[in-house]
Every structure is written in structure tokens, then in C-alpha cells.
């Protein structure tokens, strides 16, 4: 069922997801204003012609719901969600920094899964943690003892990056 221009405008103004809003604008300009799809895509939205054709086709087949991204399955995690949540909670609640190797050992010990350090890095970012490394201003102001102590502790540490990240 085709929507009127005013209905499309109401949907556009009420949409919060940016990708869907952009697609609604394409539909609004083409269906509501009668604009040429390739011109709207290239000149107004800075998108390609195939992009416009794809979303117009989805709209015509599925309606407004077709403009939303479909869920993607992806590969399931090797560690159970409850274990991942428990490990993340422990990392966030502790006041110390964690090295990537320490997190990998914790996951291997508790979950029986060995991840490569690059995947641990991705997991930590996904969990809202970021690397904590010294800034140049801190290095210059640190005492010789503090610098030597830091050099002895090999590796980088992780800490929480966002306040209020839900556990």
C-alpha cells in the first residue's frame, strides 16, 4: 500500500534511526515529490544509483518496514552470554587495569575458550572498555621510579570508557 506525501512526512519527522530516515527521505522525494531517483540519490543524498534502486524496490515490495535493516545472525559467541556478562561485570567493577593477556586467561580458565589477542581486543571494546596508556604529558611529569615501574609492567591496561554503560 502506497502512502501519501503527508503520511511519509510524518514518518520521516518521527523516525529516530538515521539510516531509515535517509531512506524515507529518498522515498518522500521520489514518491511524494515525483523527483528522479538517481538525481535524489546522487545530488541530495550523495549516494549511488544502485543504492536508490535497492531501497525503492524494497519499499515497493515490503512497504515502510522494508526500509529497516533486517537482523543479521552472525557467528554465535563461543562463550555463553551469562559468562561473558559475569567477566565483563568483574572487569568493570574492579579498580585495577587489566591486560589483554589476563582477560584471555580468564576467559580460557572459566569458559574453556582460547581467543586470539585481537579478538580479546574486539571483545573489550564491545564491552565498553578502552585501552589505558600514558599520555606524553604524564610521561614527562613522572618521576624516574614511576617510569621504571611502568616499564617493568609490560602490556597495556584496559579500563571502563563510558559512564553508565549497562552491565
| DSSP-assigned letters across all residues of 54-112 | HHHHHHHHHGGGGGSPPP---PPPSS-HHHHHHHHHHHHH-SS-EEHHHHHHHHHHHH-
Instruction: Identify the residue whose cell numbers are 604529558.
Output: 137
Q: How many Å from the N-terminal Cα to the C-terminal Cα in the chain? A: 42
Across 76-86, average pLDDT: 89
**So what CATH class is 81-160?**
mainly alpha
Statement: residue 76 has pLDDT above 80: yes
Q: Looking at residue 139, what is its pLDDT?
A: 59
Select from 23, 24, 21, 30 the least CA-distant residue to 8.
24
pTM over 0.85? The answer is no
Task: Tell me the pLDDT band of 25, cut-offs 50, 70 and 90.
Answer: very high
- In tens, the pLDDT along 31-48 reads 999 999 999 999 999 999
Q: Looking at residue 156, what is its pLDDT?
A: 59
Identify whether the C-beta of residue 29 lies closer than 8 Å to the C-beta of residue 44: yes
Q: Looking at residue 140, what is its pLDDT?
A: 65
Q: Looking at residue 133, what is its pLDDT?
A: 65
Q: Picking from 1-10, 28-37, 63-72, 127-136, which range would have the lowest pLDDT averaged per residue?
A: 127-136
Statement: residue 164 has pLDDT above 60: no
Q: How many CA atoms lie less than 13 Å away from 56 in the CB half-sphere?
A: 20
Statement: residue 134 has pLDDT above 70: no
- In tens, the pLDDT along 139-152 reads 566 777 877 777 76
Higher pLDDT, 72 or 54: 54
Tell me the CA distances in angstroms from 125 to 86, 92, 114, one per residue in order.
16, 12, 18
Amino acid at each position: 500500500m502506497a502512502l501519501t506525501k503527508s503520511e511519509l512526512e510524518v514518518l520521516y519527522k518521527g523516525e529516530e534511526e538515521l539510516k531509515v530516515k535517509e531512506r524515507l527521505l529518498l522515498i518522500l522525494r521520489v514518491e511524494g515529490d515525483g523527483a528522479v531517483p538517481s538525481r535524489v540519490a546522487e545530488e541530495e543524498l550523495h549516494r549511488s544509483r544502485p543504492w536508490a534502486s535497492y531501497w525503492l524496490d524494497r519499499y515497493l515490495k515490503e512497504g515502510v518496514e522494508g526500509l529497516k535493516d533486517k537482523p543479521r545472525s552472525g557467528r554465535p559467541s563461543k562463550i555463553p552470554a551469562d559468562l561473558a556478562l559475569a567477566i565483563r561485570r568483574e572487569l568493570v567493577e574492579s579498580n585495577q587495569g587489566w591486560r589483554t593477556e589476563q582477560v584471555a586467561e580468564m576467559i580460557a580458565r572459566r569458559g574453556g575458550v582460547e581467543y586470539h589477542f585481537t579478538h580479546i581486543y574486539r571483545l573489550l571494546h564491545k564491552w565498553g572498555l578502552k585501552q589505558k596508556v600514558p599520555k606524553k604529558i604524564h610521561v614527562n611529569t613522572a618521576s624516574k621510579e614511576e617510569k621504571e615501574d611502568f616499564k617493568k609492567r609490560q602490556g597495556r591496561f584496559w579500563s571502563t570508557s563510558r559512564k553508565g554503560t549497562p552491565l
